[in-house]
Structure 1
Amino acid sequence: MNDVERFLAHAIALEREAARRYEDLAAAMQTDGRAELKAFFARMAHFSRLHLAEAQARGQWRDLPVLADHEYDWPDGIAPETADWVGVDAQMTVRSALELALESERRGHAYYAAVAALARDPDVRHLAAEFAAEEAEHLAELERRLHACAA
């Protein structure tokens, strides 16, 4: 990926999907005793929307491509933060919800890190590294929560 506009189009799609997935998890945690986790997932959805707004703002003065689903350059052909989301419902355990979110964040982080490492364009490398750093913060928080869940 060596085009800032194309990178931003990918970042916008990735962050939009991440926000939706966190909103799904927050909705699934509405049962008794899960208010803290519901709030956490809602906060993560908020962070994803902030990243989405950041990507949109950076692309505001650019001619971003409108890509069809098959035109995205995703690893494995799917958006990185789209893990196996089958079975997201109120019956899932706290641990399984956190593991699902963690796997999605790992994919998102790996995507941005790979673009940062492989892009020839310095602007793309810089932007991807910034987004990877933000994803690393999310990973750390999810890992902390998962560790606390196991304790």
Structure 2
Amino acid sequence: MDDICIFLVHAIELEREAARRYEELAESMRADGNLKVEKFFRTMAIFSRKHLALAMERGGFQQLPILSREEYWWPDGVSPEQFTWIGVDGFIDVAYALDLALDGEMRGHAFYQEVFSNTHDPEVKRMALEFADEEAEHVAELQKWINGSAA
């Protein structure tokens, strides 16, 4: 990925998709009365919306292209922070919710790290590293939560 505009479109979509999934999960948990897990997913959605705003701000000076689904460069064909609904219902606990979030954040980090490693464009490289570092912080924070909840 050697075009900063294409990179920013991916970053915006990644964060938009993450926020959307967390909000859907929060609603599902609320509907099933699992308020503790709902609160966790709402917090994660807020974090994703903040990251989305930052990505949009960074891209604000650019005329960003509109990509079709097929034009996105996702490793598995879907946004890296999009996670599967398999095994997700109103009875999941916080530990499982944390594991879902950690998996998504790790995939987001791997995506940005891969872009960083493979791009030839210095601006994309700089920004991909910045986004990878942010995702690494999210991973570290979630790991702290997981280790704290296991104690």
Give the TM-score taking structure 2 as reference length.
0.89
Q: How far apart are residue 140 of structure 1 and its match?
A: 1.2
Identity percentage over the alignment?
52
Aligned partner letter, 2:96: S
1:71-150 mapped onto 2 (5 Å cutoff): 71-150=71-150
Q: How far apart are residue 129 of structure 1 and its match?
A: 1.0
Give the TM-score taking structure 1 as reference length.
0.89
Q: How far apart are residue 94 of structure 1 and its match?
A: 2.0
Return the alpha-carbon distance in structure 2 between the equivalents of residues 110 and 54 of structure 1. 19
Aligned partner letter, 1:17: E
Look up the SS of the partner of 1:77 in the other structure: coil
Deviations 1:31-73 (A, max 9, x none): 3561xx4333322211211111111122222121101111100
Return the alpha-carbon distance in structure 2 between the equivalents of residues 26 and 139 of structure 1. 20
Structure 2 residue runs of 5 or longer lacking an equivalent are none
1:23 aligns with 2:11: no
User: Which structure 1 residue ranges, 4+ long, deviate > 4 Å from structure 2?
Assistant: none
1:48 alignment partner in structure 2: 48
Q: How far apart are residue 150 of structure 1 and its match?
A: 2.4
2:2 alignment partner in structure 1: 2
8 Å contact from structure 2 (residues 108, 135) kept in 1: yes
8 Å contact from structure 1 (residues 25, 97) kept in 2: no
Q: What RMSD in Å do the two structures reach over aligned CA positions?
A: 1.7
8 Å contact from structure 2 (residues 34, 90) kept in 1: no
Return the alpha-carbon distance in structure 1 between the equivalents of residues 20 and 82 of structure 2. 10
Deviations 1:90-110 (A, max 9, x none): 111222211111111110011
Aligned partner letter, 2:80: P
**Deviating more after overlay: 3-12 vs 44-53:** 44-53
How many residues were matched structurally?
149
